[in-house]
Amino acid sequence: MNRFEKDRLRTKAKNIIEAMLVYLLLWLFSIVIPIMGVAAHLIWSNSFTLFIKISTLTIWSIETVVVGALLVSSYITVKKYARQTSAED
Q: Which 8-state DSSP code applies to residue 2?
A: -
Spell out the domain ranges in the chain: 3-86
Cα Rg of the chain, angstroms: 20
Cβ atoms within 10 Å, residue 65: 10
Q: How far apart, in whole angstroms, are the C-alpha atoms of residue 44 and residue 63?
A: 26
In sequence order, what are the residues at sequence separation of 6 or more whose Cβ sits closer than 8 angstroms to the Cβ of residue 72?
none
Q: How far apart, in whole angstroms, are the C-alpha atoms of residue 69 and residue 14?
A: 19
Residues in the chain: 89
At 88 the pLDDT is 59
At 30 the pLDDT is 81
Cβ atoms within 10 Å, residue 4: 8
pLDDT in tens, the chain (89 residues): 688 888 888 888 888 888 889 888 888 888 887 787 778 778 887 788 788 888 888 888 898 898 889 889 889 988 888 888 887 55
